[in-house]
Amino acid sequence: MTRFLIIISIIYIVSAFYGFQGFKTLFRNVWFHWAYGLLFLAALTNFIIRVINYVPGDGVRGQVANAGGIFFAFLLLGLVFGIFLLLEDIVRLFVFGYNKIAGLSETQTQFFPSRRKFISGIALGIAALPFGALLYGMYKGKYNYKVLKYALEFDDLPDAFDGYQITQISDVHSGSFDNREKVAYGIDLINKQQSDVILFTGDMVNDKSSEMELWADLFSTLEAKDGKFSILGNHDYGDYTSWPSDEAKAQNLEDLKNLQKEMGFDLLLDTHKYLEKNGQRIALLGVENWGRGGFKKAGDLEKAKTGISKDDFKILMSHDPSHWEDIVLKDDYHFHLTLSGHTHGMQFGVEIPGWVKWSPVKWRYKYWAGIYEELGQFINVNRGFGFIGYPGRVGIWPEISVITLKKKGLT
């Protein structure tokens, strides 16, 4: 950690100093120069203090997460600004060398200050974009809840469930929340959908069940006619923090299970329930976390489907979409709809409905956000209700999914 802190601090200082050369070209007022230096210094100092005082096992949240977010925003500002100026200096150097070799006079080879000022202005404008976006994501974007609605058609949906509405939420990560009013707004937005059932697809906490205690009263107010069901995500097992003993870790998981029950969630652990309507029914299955690439593989699909028929209409709750890709799609039971989360859309990307849908997380997950269809089966990958690590969201907003089931051929 010490080596990392030294290296990142050196990169930060060099980029800030190099960028300052362009800043001086644009702004002659000495007070602006002081402001530039003090802001960069404050962001670095705050970050170093938070990292030094960080207690391993506490999770990247709260003050250390905010300090890291601000530091990274200033780091990007300095890097982008500095890179543009460095490229311009490299061009200057090559032109200067060429002109010397060509024997041109200084009058003929002069680079006017206005050119440097122009380049600095362009560089600062471009650098300000990621800087502003990261700060906006921290202070506004992380609670910019969006209700995304989908209508999915099926040939074999029981007639009684035509028009049946599901609200899916995922990845609450309650340990990262810092604004009760905003979270309450999100809960109210879920209830306003008046769905038949609410399904939560894992990661209630970052690490510890105690993180949810401050928010349990809010999530207890979630209501749906046919109830609310939940599963566990990879973070719910407490694998990413330290524990005094294995018994303490196991107790934490039991505490989280009990807390979910107290909040009114029916936690499905490799099992299933039937949702019934007008004498017809659909099967709702929930598995424990199963994830590719080093994530816990606790989910047992075979156990969850024991007792249901191949002919049943089936909705599966599985936290990690890699489970759908690697296991579920190949299963001969044909799972009509799978609901997942986990990816968060990396909390960063660009989405313009109908035009662009991009995030760096697509390089790891083929199915990373929204609805996908393969082999006549659907999956919805929810972008998450909360956030973790970077305390914000840029372009990929917190999501409340509302899915309406439709029977093909019915009006």
Q: How far apart are CA 319 and CA 329, in angstroms?
A: 15
Which parts of the chain register pLDDT below 50? 108-109
| Same structural domain, 202 and 156 | yes
Instruction: Examine the fold and report which residue of 101, 124, 139 is the final residue of a domain before the chain moves on.
Output: 139
Residues 317 and 384 in one domain: yes
Domain identity same for 337 and 399: yes
Domain count, the chain: 2
Which one, of 316, 321, 328, lies nearest residue 287 by Cα? 316
- Taking 3-state DSSP, the helix, strand and coil percentages for the chain, each rounded to the nearest 5, stand at 45, 20, 35
- Per cent of the chain over pLDDT 90 is 68
The model's pTM is 0.89
Q: Indicate whether 43 and 116 sit together in one domain.
A: yes
Structural domain harbouring 352 = 146-407
Residue 19's pLDDT is: 81
**Parallel, antiparallel, or unpaired: how do β-strands 356-358 and 350-352 relate?**
antiparallel
Pick from 123, 5, 139: nearest CA to 70: 139
Same domain, 236 and 170: yes
Summarize pLDDT for 72-118 with one digit per residue, the tens.
Answer: 899 988 888 878 777 766 766 776 676 667 665 555 445 555 556 77
Q: What is the pLDDT of residue 80?
A: 85
Same domain? For 170 and 271 the reply is yes
Distances (CA, A) of 400 to 169, 262, 382: 6, 22, 8
> Facing residues of 197 across strands?
166
Whether residues 308 and 166 share a domain: the answer is: yes
Q: How far is CA 107 from CA 17, 104, 111, in A?
A: 30, 8, 9
289 close to 319: Cβ distance less than 8 angstroms: yes
Long-range contacts (CB closer than 8 Å, 24 or more residues apart) made by 211-217:
211/174, 211/175, 212/172, 212/174, 212/175, 212/256, 212/259, 213/259, 214/174, 214/177, 215/172, 215/174, 215/177, 215/180, 215/183, 216/259, 216/262, 216/263
Residue that finishes a domain, picked among 79, 104, 139:
139
Phi and psi at residue 103, to the nearest 5°: 75, 25
Give one DSSP letter per residue of 44-83, joined into a string: HHHHHHHHHT--TTS-S-HHHHHHHHHHHHHHHHHHHHHH
Pairing of strands 314-317, 337-340: parallel
Identity (one letter) of the amino acid at 284?
L
CB atoms inside a 10 Å sphere around CB 200? 30
Q: Are residues 123 and 197 in the same domain?
A: no
State whether 59 and 77 are in the same domain.
Answer: yes
User: Which CATH number does the domain housing residue 156 bear?
Assistant: 3.60.21.10
Please name the residues in contact with 281: beta carbons below 8 A apart, sequence gap of 6 or more: 158, 274, 275, 312
Say what the pLDDT of residue 109 is: 47
**Same domain flag for 172 and 61:** no
Cα torsion through 35, 40, 46, 47, rounded to 10: 170
Other Cβ atoms within 10 Å of 102 Cβ, number: 9
pLDDT, tens digit, 9 for 90 and up, residues 112-135: 555 567 777 887 888 888 899 999
Task: Give the domain-ending residue among 104, 139, 174.
Answer: 139
**In a shared domain, residues 150 and 113:** no
Q: What is the pLDDT of residue 226?
A: 97
Beta bridge partners of 165: 404
Residues 104 and 153 in one domain: no
Say how many C-beta atoms besides its own lie within 10 A of residue 105's C-beta.
8
- Give, as one character, the DSSP assignment of residue 312: S
**85, 18 Cβ separation under 8 angstroms:** yes
H or E element in which residue 196 lies = none
Q: How far apart, in whole angstroms, are the C-alpha atoms of residue 308 and residue 272?
A: 8
Q: Identify the burial level of 56 via C-beta atoms within 10 angstroms of its C-beta, where 0-12 means exposed, 13-18 middle and 19 or more buried.
A: exposed
The tally of CA atoms less than 13 A away on the side-chain side of residue 264 is: 16
